[in-house]
Every structure is written in C-alpha cells, then in structure tokens.
C-alpha cells in the first residue's frame, strides 16, 4: 500500500508494556485477516521494562509516531519539467503552454534556484524598456537567434551578449555613427552601407532581417572580428519586438523570499501560508534543496488523512498529537470512557479487564487465528505488567487464564519472566527525576483541572526509597514546566501490595487525604492495598476533584 494507505496501530504517550506489545500483536492480527498493511508504532520513549520484553523475544522497537497531522508527504505532488536559469523566457513560455501549467521551477543540478510564472513573463514584456537589458541579463546568442526564429550564420552561438545596447539601424550612415557604439547589437536590413558601418563600429552582433542578403565580404569581416551574425525572416519591427523574449529566465524568476515547503510540513500550516500568497503552485524541496515537485491548493483538498487504530487508551491528551485530524478506525481499550472524538463511526471495543492484551488475545481466537509464540510472549508480558502478576485489583480471572494459556504457547515461566521484567523496570540508574516521572505517566482532565499520574513498580523497598529521593525535589519544577495543576507519583511495592504516594500542586495533598481518609499530619501518604492507577487511584482522584 502507499504510505498514506498504511494503518498505524499505536498506544498512548509515555507507553507501557501493554500499549507497545498490544500494538505489535494487534497489527499482526489485522494484517493477517485483511491482507493490508498495519504497522505498529509507539507514541513515546520506551520504559526499561518494555525494552527488556522486546529484547527478550527478539522484537524490533516500533518506530516513533509523534504526530498524526496531515503532511505534504501524504499529498500527491504535481510533477514538473525543470529548466535552467540560462534558458530564455520564450522557452519557458513554450514549456508552460506544452505542460498546461502556470509555474515552472528553475534548477541547477536538481537544486531549486527559483520559479518563473506566466505572470512574471507578462510583467517582463511590460517592463523591458531598457535597451541594455539583454546585456545586463547576459543573454546567450543562441537564445537571441531562437527568439527571432533565425539562424546564426557566423560567430559563437554559445557566447554571451554582455556589453552594449540593442539598436535598430534605420537611419543614414552618418546618424548611425553617432548612436551605434562598440559591442552593440544592431538590428539591420539589406543596406550594404549600414551593414559595413555596423562592422566598422565593432558591433558584437548583427541581426539581419527579412532574409536579406549578406555579402561574402561583410561575412568575412564579421568573422575576423568575431561578430555574431544572425539571419531572420522577420522584419525589423517584429525582430525588435521578439528579441526581448531571449532574456534568460533567471532575470525575471522569483528567487528572493521564495516560498517553498518540505515533505514533513503539516498541511494545515501550508494552507495558512498559501492563503497569503499569490502563486498557484508552490515548490516542494528536500533537506538539501533538491526539487521534488509542486503542490497547489487544489491538491491539498485531496490529501488522505492518516489512518490509525488506538490501543490501550481513549483519552485525547494521552493520544498522539493531531489525533483529531486523523481517520481513527478502531479503539481497543480497557479504561474508563473519555474524550476521544472521531470524524466518523469507529469500531470501539472496551472491556473491564486488567489488560488490553487480554482483549486482543480474544480477538485472535474470534477470528480463528493462532497466536504465534513471539506474539504470545508479548501479550503474556503485557498482562503480567498491567496486573502486577495478577496482584492488581484490576486483574480478572480472564486475564490470569489468558496469561497462562499464552505462557504455554510461548514456552515461558510466568514467575521468572515477571521477576526479570520488574527488575528491569525498576532499574532507573542514570535517569533524571523528570525521566523517571514520565516513564509510565498518564494525563487526565477533570473540569478545569489537569493532572498527571506516574507510577513505578518494584520488589524492593530500598529501591523505592532511592527513587523517591531522586524524584521528590524535582516534582514541582517538572509540574510547572509541563503546565500541570497537580502531579501524583505512585511508588508501588509489588511484594507488600501497597503504594506510597508523593505529590505536588495546589491542594494535591489535601485531595489525597480526603479521598482516602488519611491522617492530616501523616508523614507518608501510604495507600495499603492500592497498586492500580486505573482502578484504585484515578477514580478516587476524579471523585475528589469533582466535589
């Protein structure tokens, strides 16, 4: 499928093991049952536990999907023939007519130098009144010959007319002597005396009109003096009129403040820029300035929205940026219903189980697709992680039976895998306080209050104390940096099945004390039996904030 037909399967920001492993396994299932391309992606940096799981089962880390907004790379670009800046505006006009376009890119070795439009060419006819313009533009003699539909009889067609002015020799020899100067270009007829005068005055070029004869003697003298002689069938008026068409396009192309776009630019940003500009087509270039094609307002209307399936979340502020602009096709989740809005109807499956992986395993069975050992290992790991090896109150009998079935397919020991996973997940050496806070972090909005809840699980009380000492002094600064009203961080001891809560933000401590009926002067906010953010902490916080 083309890039914009690919369907991304992605979990939430600050991904945990469930959101990553479920995305991989569900993308595999969808590809198998549809034959189309479903690609797992991640919405943020992996935590240590998830990295361990992927390495353990030999699975590549999914690529990052940081934004779902439409980009120029999803637009079908208009191909355009490129021309060089030395070509004449006449040639440019002919190319435009041939291709039925109003804009042509000017490139050198593929790199964009400017653009020329029909408007620029029309403007050149109105503004070329300076008889030295051809010289100022360094016009090539072969361009001059092409403009007057003539042929070069003698002289270097690759040379440039870069000095002097354009003149018409329609007066007496005496008068010609007074205004024709060395290096001028002279438009002339069949008068031998006028032709001789132009040669004697060292003109750089003679345009002889109406196919008038040129004597062998004049041609020999012109050749000796390296004067270019062009022979045309046109009369002097037509030749003088057409000669300005020989000016190189670089003299009239738009090159300063040129409006260009890149493949990764967002369509809505591009539309905004286009609305303020007069052009119909705009060049698209790569990072090195190489021309890729043209984009127009009309083509932006046909852009394909990115297609996506969301797993393990249905809250807008947990989703990849730009989700409101994407074509959300499915949502597979096990959390409370929240704020994702979709453009059209979607397949939405939400079950009150401990892990999204449990639902995805059911979907394998419902579609008659066997779970292979690798995906079984990933799904089993997700259930172990989300249910804290069946200790969490979110865990249902279905989660436990599903995990055991998957473990058998994958050939793994649940207890040993769980120990290794939790050990990897609590190994936070070298990480900053902010990195630890956001390893497993979810953001919520209740009324006008925006709060975030992070969590770290460990089998060692000593390790949790070390993490607390690192995180606590930096929490308030992190809260302000991320524009949150409150931050709560769960230090969960898997062995004792309890969590110490640390928090910051106005009234955050009071809300917890009220929600769990704790002592006002309690030194530690210890929540016995509380290990689940989803089922035990967030509902209590939401209720407290709504009061």
CATH number of the CATH domain containing 143: 3.40.1390.20
How many CB atoms within 10 Å of residue 471? 23
Helices (H), 162-212: 173-179, 192-200
User: Please, are residues 468 and 491 in contact by the beta-carbon 8 Å criterion?
Assistant: yes
Do residue 387 and residue 460 come from a single domain? no
Token duo for residue 125: 């006819």
Record the pTM.
Answer: 0.64
State which of 425, 441, 458 marks the end of a domain: 425
Distance (Å, whole) CA 511 – CA 489:
14
* Positive or negative: CA dihedral 491, 492, 493, 499: positive
User: By C-alpha distance, which of 147, 135, 121, 139 is closest to 181?
Assistant: 135
Give the pLDDT of residue 320: 93
Edge-to-edge strand list for the sheet holding 281-285:
261-262, 281-285, 291-296
The answer to whether position 282 is within a domain reads: no
Give the pLDDT of residue 77: 86
CATH code for position 529: 3.10.310.20
User: Please, are residues 399 and 353 in contact by the beta-carbon 8 Å criterion?
Assistant: yes
Helices (H), 336-413: 356-366, 373-386, 397-410
Dihedral through CA 250, CA 254, CA 259, CA 260, nearest 10? -20
User: Please, are residues 222 and 155 in contact by the beta-carbon 8 Å criterion?
Assistant: yes
Half-sphere exposure of 234 (CA within 13 A, CB side): 18
The answer to whether position 297 is within a domain reads: no
Do residue 470 and residue 363 come from a single domain? no
The answer to whether position 261 is within a domain reads: no
CATH code for position 361: 3.90.1640.10
- Burial class for 462, CB neighbours closer than 10 Å (0-12, 13-18, 19+): exposed
Distance (Å, whole) CA 341 – CA 314:
9
Do residue 448 and residue 529 come from a single domain? yes
Do residue 470 and residue 398 come from a single domain? no
State which of 246, 278, 293 marks the end of a domain: 246
The answer to whether position 197 is within a domain reads: yes
What are the backbone angles phi and psi of residue 271, rounded to the nearest 5°?
Answer: -60, -40
* Positive or negative: CA dihedral 94, 296, 75, 255: positive
Distance (Å, whole) CA 307 – CA 494:
38
How many CB atoms within 10 Å of residue 230? 27
Edge-to-edge strand list for the sheet holding 327-333:
63-64, 38-42, 7-10, 307-311, 327-333, 347-350
Do residue 347 and residue 385 come from a single domain? yes
Q: Which residue's entry shows tokens 């003109």?
A: 203
State which of 425, 451, 486 marks the end of a domain: 425
Collapse the DSSP code of 40 into the 3-class scheme (helix H, G, I; strand E, B; otherwise coil) and give the result.
Answer: strand
Do residue 478 and residue 398 come from a single domain? no
Give the pLDDT of residue 127: 66
How many CB atoms within 10 Å of residue 59? 18
User: Please, are residues 154 and 177 in contact by the beta-carbon 8 Å criterion?
Assistant: no
What are the backbone angles phi and psi of residue 306, rounded to the nearest 5°?
Answer: -70, 135
Do residue 314 and residue 419 come from a single domain? yes
* Positive or negative: CA dihedral 133, 137, 138, 141: negative
Do residue 133 and residue 241 come from a single domain? yes
Residue 133 domain boundaries: 129-246
Do residue 414 and residue 485 come from a single domain? no
Do residue 153 and residue 211 come from a single domain? yes
- 3-class SS letters over 218-231: HHHHHHHCCCEEEE
Do residue 399 and residue 484 come from a single domain? no
Do residue 208 and residue 230 come from a single domain? yes
Collapse the DSSP code of 367 into the 3-class scheme (helix H, G, I; strand E, B; otherwise coil) and give the result.
Answer: coil
The answer to whether position 327 is within a domain reads: yes
Collapse the DSSP code of 265 into the 3-class scheme (helix H, G, I; strand E, B; otherwise coil) and give the result.
Answer: coil
Low-confidence ranges of the chain (pLDDT < 50): 1-4
User: By C-alpha distance, which of 146, 135, 172 is closest to 234?
Assistant: 146
Token duo for residue 363: 């979907």
What are the backbone angles phi and psi of residue 331, rounded to the nearest 5°?
Answer: -135, 125
Quote the number of domains for the chain.
3
The answer to whether position 442 is within a domain reads: yes
The answer to whether position 182 is within a domain reads: yes
Please state, in angstroms and as integers, the Cα–Cα distance from residue 99 to each residue in 103, 146, 163, 291, 427, following that order.
Answer: 10, 20, 35, 18, 63
Residue 167 pairs in a beta bridge with: 186
The answer to whether position 93 is within a domain reads: no
Collapse the DSSP code of 270 into the 3-class scheme (helix H, G, I; strand E, B; otherwise coil) and give the result.
Answer: helix
């Amino acid at each position: 499928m083309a890039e914009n037909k690919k369907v991304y399967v992605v979990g939430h920001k600050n991904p945990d093991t469930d959101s990553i492993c479920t995305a991989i396994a569900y993308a595999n299932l969808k590809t198998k049952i549809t034959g189309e391309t479903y690609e797992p992606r991640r919405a943020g940096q992996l935590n240590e536990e998830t990295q361990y799981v992927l390495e353990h089962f030999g699975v590549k880390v999914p690529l990052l999907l940081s934004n779902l907004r439409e980009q120029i790379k999803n637009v079908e670009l208009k191909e355009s023939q490129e021309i060089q800046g030395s070509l004449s505006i006449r040639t440019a006009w002919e190319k435009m007519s041939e291709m039925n376009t109003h804009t042509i890119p000017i490139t050198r070795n593929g790199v964009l130098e400017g653009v020329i439009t029909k408007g620029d060419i029309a403007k050149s006819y109105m503004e070329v009144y300076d008889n030295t313009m051809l010289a100022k533009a360094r016009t090539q003699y072969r361009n001059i010959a092409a403009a007057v539909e003539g042929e070069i009889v003698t002289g270097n067609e690759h040379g440039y007319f870069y000095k002097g002015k354009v003149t018409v020799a329609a007066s007496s020899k005496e008068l010609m002597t007074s205004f024709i100067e060395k290096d001028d270009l002279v438009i002339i007829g069949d008068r031998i005396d006028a032709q001789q005068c132009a040669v004697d005055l060292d003109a750089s070029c003679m345009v002889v009109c109406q196919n008038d004869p040129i004597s062998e003697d004049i041609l020999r003298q012109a050749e000796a003096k390296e004067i270019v002689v062009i022979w045309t069938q046109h009369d002097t008026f037509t030749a003088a009129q057409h000669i300005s068409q020989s000016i190189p396009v670089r003299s009239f192309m738009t090159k300063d403040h040129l409006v260009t776009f890149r493949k990764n630019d967002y369509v809505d940003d591009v539309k905004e820029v286009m609305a303020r500009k007069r052009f119909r087509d705009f060049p698209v270039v790569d990072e090195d300035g190489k021309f890729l094609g043209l984009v127009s307002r009309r083509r932006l209307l046909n852009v394909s929205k990115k297609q996506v399936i969301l797993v393990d979340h249905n809250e807008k502020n947990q989703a990849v940026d730009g989700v409101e602009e994407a074509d959300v096709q499915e949502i597979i989740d096990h959390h409370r219903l929240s704020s994702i809005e979709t453009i059209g109807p979607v397949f939405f499956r939400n079950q009150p189980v401990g892990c999204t992986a449990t639902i995805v395993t059911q979907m394998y069975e419902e579609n008659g697709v066997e779970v292979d050992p690798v995906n079984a290992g990933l799904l089993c790991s997700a259930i172990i992680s989300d249910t804290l090896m069946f200790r969490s109150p979110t865990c249902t009998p279905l989660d436990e039976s599903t995990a055991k079935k998957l473990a058998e397919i994958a050939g793994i020991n649940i207890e040993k895998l769980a120990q290794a996973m939790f050990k990897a997940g609590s190994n936070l050496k070298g990480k900053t306080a902010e990195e630890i806070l956001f390893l497993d972090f979810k953001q919520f909005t209740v009324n006008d209050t925006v709060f975030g809840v992070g969590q770290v699980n460990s089998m060692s009380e000593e390790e949790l104390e070390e993490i607390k000492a690192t995180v606590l002094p930096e929490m308030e600064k992190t809260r302000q940096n991320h524009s949150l009203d409150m931050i709560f961080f769960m230090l969960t001891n898997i062995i004792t099945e309890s969590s110490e809560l640390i928090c910051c933000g106005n009234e955050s401590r009071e809300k917890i004390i009220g929600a769990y009926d704790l002592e006002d002067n309690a030194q530690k906010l210890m929540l016995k039996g509380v290990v689940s953010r989803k089922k035990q902490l967030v509902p209590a916080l939401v209720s407290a904030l709504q009061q």
